[in-house]
Structure 1
Amino acid sequence: MTFVSSAQSALLTWTAQRRLPAIRHFRDHPHEVQQQVLRELLHTARATEWGRRYGFADGMSSAEFAARVPISAYEELVPDLERVMRGEADVLWPGRVQWFAKSSGTTNARSKYIPVTREALHECHYRAGRDMVALSTLHYPEAQLPGGKTLSLGGTHTPNPLRPTDAASRAGDISAVIMQNLPAWAEHIRTPPLELALLDEWEQKIERIARYVLTQDVRALAGVPTWMIVLLRRVTELAGAGSITEVWPNLRLFLHGAVAFGPYRELFRQLIPGPQMHYLEVYNASEGYLALQDEPDSEDLLLLLNHGIYYEFLPADQWEAPEPRALPLEAVELGKNYALIISTNAGLWRYKIGDTVRFTSLQPYRIRISGRTKHFLNAFGEEVVVENAEAAVAAACRATATTVRDFTAAPIYFAGAADGSRGGHQWLIEFTQPPHDPAHFTAILDQTLRQLNSDYDAKRHRDLALAPPMVTVATSGQFERWLASRGKLGGQHKVPRLSNSRELLEEILNTA
């Protein structure tokens, strides 16, 4: 096996843990830190086209900033973003941007391209990466994580589609952009090498990575649960082992993100048996590294406040307003759903990222991802969000000793219901271990949704307005085939959990 020397491990641990005082500072002084971030962003960008257009100036208050700069969705920024992609300098952020994250956060055929500046890489993504290493070594010192390798599974990058002859400008999955530009300290402790990590053909990539990492001292995993499962199974098969712990006896930690972990938790316990394994969630999007799980005993995510991102929060009643009014951090309340609005050191200004969160703590500010502004079920006034769906599937899995590979749900409109008088929800679920009693699984799914969501419960009362859910069992690999058909297999691409129309569900059903 390949090992990192004890001296190198100690140096890496010491370097990472130097971030702990900074983490404590923004936890203890969140509002002051956020105001400083906004001042630095405005100062840096004041000479850009956007800075001149909206009058960025030193001393500009957060209220003035909110009054002058409109909230923008991606579609509204496309003209300026395309200019940036074509190589124009000083449009949204100083200088020319060479790297772009190709976002999978849309179900549209057209991909989103998010600028990734040098500042965003080093002051956001890599700073948060150091934070995660610092907290991991603090909470799990016995694991000696920097003494081995972190197996990171990500996507790929290709030439910038609007500058295809410029070899220096690339676009791809944010994980690939990060890996390609990693600082030496991080590259030193990760595996596999870039020539394997950035392969674009997914099946070949899994096979070659699995064969390479068999002989590595893997102590941590980092990636999307959906795809990490595929790799761990292949490594176990190649090794002829009973579990992955026989291959990597020092494996202690999985840093996971992109999808909620609840439905996958039992499956990972089966793949990695034993109490020595730990799990921490990260919230790292194409637009920035936003939050991470800083306490092992809580699934809440600490909002990262000194990483070049200024946050605002849009209440649910403002999501479709013609002139939406967002709240600053100090005005948020516990338990409410907010759409995230961010201004970043990648040149995104009051950008509606599309994710929704709710606060679980205000001292310090901790959140849970509750869904997306466009991914929910509300065809009949039930207002089911992704967080509800993830929790209900996880509860049904626990109650029936079942594991799930992937799932999505969509409405059944009145004309498609059994008696034509009520609507309902169809859940397409791919099980890795199907339930012995599908009716019990469906009942727990329904019961949990009713407990979590009063609107859903009201519609389900006596089956009057909303019929019981219908679970359809997907064939093996059905979701992967759908992703492959859209060129989105692997990396951080994922299946949308909920949709308010049947278009997506019908597409996946037709891949069976």
Structure 2
Amino acid sequence: MPLLGSIIKSAIEFPSRIPFQNLRRLSPAQTQQATLKKLLRNAQYTAFGEAYDFGGMLKRRNFIDIFRKNVPLHDYNTIHQRWWYRTHTGEAFVSWPGKVKYFALSSGTSEASSKYIPVTSDMLRAIKRTSIRQIFSLARYNFPRDFYEKGILMLGGSTHLQYNGTYYEGDLSGITTGNIPFWFQHFYKPGKRISRERDWTTKLNEIVKKAPDWDIGVIA
């Protein structure tokens, strides 16, 4: 589809033609400060934010020093036992606004056989935004038009998640892949059926069988 490739290439390259010389760039320290302030502002009305008075911190010029002094470091066991366990029953606004719909299962460690990491709606949106920015960065490499017609092979965990009454659990890659935008489905490989397979060996064998029929330009 040459026309599709031309349209996508033009859309991706368009932002690179806009001059940004006059935009004010923040230093790394300023960026971190702005990020902390944004996180405090968003979480100030959660149980965690109220316990450590995030709202009060935001009213102080030295909020960074106050944050360092008043908010202790938490390892996984500590924050799960004190806070995150409440999200498993569907409680909202524990450490972040809203309910937690997904939990990513990490590999086991000496501390726990498996760790349940909350994946919020805001986190999924942030991952999507980052992915879109990565796509727009392709404009730097001047790929030919037909490159943008090729498939994108994404190798990751199963998108077939386990439902536990109030939330879904599974691999982080499976959670994010299961939430890709509808317009991306045209390019996404190995497709919905194979991506739901939980057995890794079976999934790889299915991909090997189908691979000769695909025109892959990117592996993620």
What TM-score comes out, normalization by structure 2 length?
Answer: 0.82
The separation in 2 between residues aligned to 1:114 and 1:176, in whole angstroms, is 14
Q: 1:147 aligns with which of 142, 146, 149?
A: 149
The separation in 1 between residues aligned to 2:183 and 2:47, in whole angstroms, is 36
The separation in 2 between residues aligned to 1:25 and 1:152, in whole angstroms, is 36
What TM-score comes out, normalization by structure 1 length?
Answer: 0.38
User: Comparing both chains, which one has the higher relative contact order based on Cα–Cα distances under 8 Å and sequence gaps of 6 or more?
Assistant: 2
Give the superposition deviation at 1:210. Answer: 2.1
5 Å-filtered alignment, 1:309-324, equals: none
Query: Is 1:133 aligned to 2:132, yes or no?
Result: no
Task: Give per-residue Cα distances to partners, 1:77-106, cap 9 Å, x unaligned.
Answer: 112212112211111011111011111273
Structure 2: where are the runs of 5+ without partners? none
Greater helix share, 1 or 2? 2
For 2:38, what is the secondary structure of its paired residue?
helix
The separation in 2 between residues aligned to 1:155 and 1:74, in whole angstroms, is 22
Kindly tell me: are residues 43 and 19 of structure 1, through their superposed partners in 2, closer, same or farther at Cα, counting changes over 3 Å?
Answer: farther
Structure 1: where are the runs of 5+ without partners? 223-512
Kindly tell me: are residues 126 and 94 of structure 1, through their superposed partners in 2, closer, same or farther at Cα, counting changes over 3 Å?
Answer: same
Kindly tell me: are residues 41 and 177 of structure 1, through their superposed partners in 2, closer, same or farther at Cα, counting changes over 3 Å?
Answer: same
5 Å-filtered alignment, 1:60-209, equals: 60=60, 61-79=63-81, 80-104=83-107, 106=109, 110-123=113-126, 125-142=127-144, 145-156=147-158, 157-160=160-163, 164-166=164-166, 169-209=167-207
The corresponding residue for 1:13 is 12
CA contact (8 A) 1:19 1:134 kept: no
The separation in 1 between residues aligned to 2:113 and 2:123, in whole angstroms, is 24
Give the superposition deviation at 1:145. Answer: 4.0
Kindly tell me: are residues 29 and 142 of structure 1, through their superposed partners in 2, closer, same or farther at Cα, counting changes over 3 Å?
Answer: farther
For 1:214, what is the secondary structure of its paired residue?
helix
The separation in 2 between residues aligned to 1:198 and 1:25, in whole angstroms, is 45
5 Å-filtered alignment, 1:248-397, equals: none
Q: 1:37 aligns with which of 29, 35, 38?
A: 35
Q: What count of residue pairs does the alignment treat as equivalent?
A: 212
Which sits farther off after the overlay, 109-118 or 9-18?
A: 9-18
For 1:141, what is the secondary structure of its paired residue?
coil
The separation in 2 between residues aligned to 1:122 and 1:35, in whole angstroms, is 22
Q: Quick one: which amino acid aligns to residue 5 of structure 1?
A: L
The separation in 2 between residues aligned to 1:51 and 1:192, in whole angstroms, is 41
Greater C-alpha Rg = 1
Which sits farther off after the overlay, 141-150 or 177-186?
A: 141-150
The separation in 1 between residues aligned to 2:217 and 2:147, in whole angstroms, is 6
Give the superposition deviation at 1:54. Answer: 0.1
Task: Give per-residue Cα distances to partners, 1:9-66, cap 9 Å, x unaligned.
Answer: 2355247869996xx976x533322222211211111111011100002335211111
